[in-house]
């Protein structure tokens, strides 16, 4: 399962040291972030309404330019390309902060990846988000971080959390009530199990 790194155009954030990937797509202003990260993308996409670099100055990197009047955000354009190219693991960076509407769109885009059989992570210096579509998942203890879960689908069924301060058993979590907000580790790891749905797991640095 190949991994595609997507560099979005939100607030700049350095990558964690342990991130590994096979292909890189920069989205519009994300190309400027890629240069700051010293990463040469394999592809640049977008309508280029916010990129500080002129398309003509991007050089030998393939560019897919789109009109500004479109249904997809630049990040979603990159996600569609990654999935169509066979990448089932998508990591998104520089996708938080700035405009709230784009942040929400990027989180919804994570659900799009999960609904198409992929796994999606969103990383920043203070936040780590990932999708979970069922089975068993163990999360190592992260001191100084909170642990929250939200339903990105209408509901997530039979959600159980073990090893946390607020364990639950076979709960149904919906997208209309934030039942899973602000938990934290009690043991050395937290175990999540779930039958069905798209769950968003958020690890947030407590400042």
User: Using CA atoms, how far apart are residues 98 and 110, in angstroms rounded to an integer?
Assistant: 18
Is pTM beyond 0.95? Reply is no
Q: Are residues 115 and 158 in the same domain?
A: no
The domain boundary, picked from 94, 125, 156, lies at: 125
The pLDDT of 130-159, averaged and rounded, is: 97
**Number of domains present in the structure of the chain:** 2
Q: Are residues 175 and 160 in the same domain?
A: yes
Give the per-residue pLDDT at 207. Answer: 77
Q: Are residues 14 and 106 in the same domain?
A: yes
Q: Are residues 71 and 157 in the same domain?
A: no
- pLDDT band of 54, cuts 50, 70, 90: confident
Burial 103-131 (b: 16+ CB within 10 A, else e): bebbbebbbbbbeeebbbbbbbeebbbbb
Q: Are residues 117 and 173 in the same domain?
A: no
- pLDDT band of 6, cuts 50, 70, 90: very high
Give the CATH number of the domain where residue 112 resides.
3.40.50.10240
Give the per-residue pLDDT at 194. Answer: 98
Q: How far apart are the first and last CA of the chain?
A: 35
Q: Which of 67-71, 79-83, 110-114, 167-171 has the lowest mean pLDDT?
A: 67-71
Q: Return the higher-pLDDT residue of 55 and 148.
A: 148
User: Using CA atoms, how far apart are residues 28 and 142, in angstroms rounded to an integer?
Assistant: 33
Q: Are residues 104 and 11 in the same domain?
A: yes
Q: Are residues 148 and 201 in the same domain?
A: yes
The pLDDT of 8-27, averaged and rounded, is: 93
Give the per-residue pLDDT at 47. Answer: 76
The pLDDT of 197-207, averaged and rounded, is: 95
Q: Are residues 83 and 154 in the same domain?
A: no
The domain boundary, picked from 125, 149, 173, lies at: 125
Range of the domain at 22: 3-125
**Does the pLDDT of residue 67 top 70, yes or no?**
no
Q: Are residues 86 and 25 in the same domain?
A: yes
User: Using CA atoms, how far apart are residues 102 and 48, in angstroms rounded to an integer?
Assistant: 15
Q: Are residues 36 and 58 in the same domain?
A: yes
SS3 177: coil
Q: Are residues 13 and 94 in the same domain?
A: yes
Q: Are residues 72 and 102 in the same domain?
A: yes
The domain boundary, picked from 86, 109, 125, lies at: 125
**Does the pLDDT of residue 120 top 90, yes or no?**
yes
- pLDDT band of 56, cuts 50, 70, 90: low
Question: For 93-119, how does the pLDDT look when each residue is reduced to its tens digit (9 = 90+)?
Answer: 999 987 899 899 999 999 999 999 999
Give the per-residue pLDDT at 160. Answer: 98
Percent of the chain's residues with pLDDT above 90:
79
């Amino acid at each position: 399962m190949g991994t595609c790194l997507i560099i979005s155009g939100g607030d700049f954030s350095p990558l964690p040291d342990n991130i590994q990937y096979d292909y890189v797509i920069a989205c519009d202003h994300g190309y400027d972030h890629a240069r700051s990260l010293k990463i040469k993308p394999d592809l640049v996409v977008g309508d280029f309404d916010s990129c500080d670099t002129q398309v003509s100055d991007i050089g030998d990197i393939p560019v897919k330019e789109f009109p500004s009047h479109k249904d997809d955000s630049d990040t979603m354009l990159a996600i569609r390309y990654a999935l169509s190219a066979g990448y089932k693991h998508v990591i998104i960076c520089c996708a938080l902060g700035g405009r709230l509407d784009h942040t929400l769109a990027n989180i919804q885009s994570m659900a799009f990846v999960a609904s198409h059989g992929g796994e999606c992570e969103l990383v920043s210096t203070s936040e780590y988000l990932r999708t979970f579509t069922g089975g068993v998942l163990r999360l190592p203890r992260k001191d100084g971080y909170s642990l929250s879960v939200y339903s990105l689908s209408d509901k997530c069924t039979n959600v159980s959390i073990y090893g946390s301060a607020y364990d639950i058993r076979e709960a149904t979590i919906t997208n209309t009530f934030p039942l899973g907000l602000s938990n934290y580790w009690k043991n050395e790891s937290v175990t999540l199990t779930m039958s069905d749905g798209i769950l968003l797991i958020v690890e947030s640095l407590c400042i």
